[in-house]
Amino acid sequence: MNRKSVEPSAQQKLASARAPSLTGIAGLSIIVIAFLISIVNASIDTPNTFISMTLQPFIFVGVGLLLYHVGQHVHVVNQNVILMLDERDPAEHDQPGAG
């Protein structure tokens, strides 16, 4: 079993990275919504302590989703750099007989 049969090409990884891009959008939207809720909560005369306590876990979830999104893209870029250093065309990487 050689290296080409083990790792998928960078093009396939870019195609499969579409789902983690949704995690980036979800993470950013969670953080923005939590920020807007905190502004509304701080602007009222008696801020609700339950809302203040539940905002921190939501922000942690949003940051976690953003970090997962960034990590997936860094992995794809790293795979592409490895293929470029090996002087192979990423599109021909998984084709039989290419090498």
pLDDT tens string 4-59: 544 556 556 656 655 567 888 999 999 999 999 999 998 988 888 888 888 989 99
pLDDT at 45: 87
**Residue tagged 């502004």 (tokens):** 39
- Widest pairwise Cα distance in the chain: 71
Q: What is the pLDDT of residue 37?
A: 93
pLDDT at 30: 94
- The pair of structure tokens assigned to 25 is 């959008």
Domain ranges of the chain: 10-92
Q: Which residues contact 15 (CB under 8 A, 6 or more apart)?
A: none
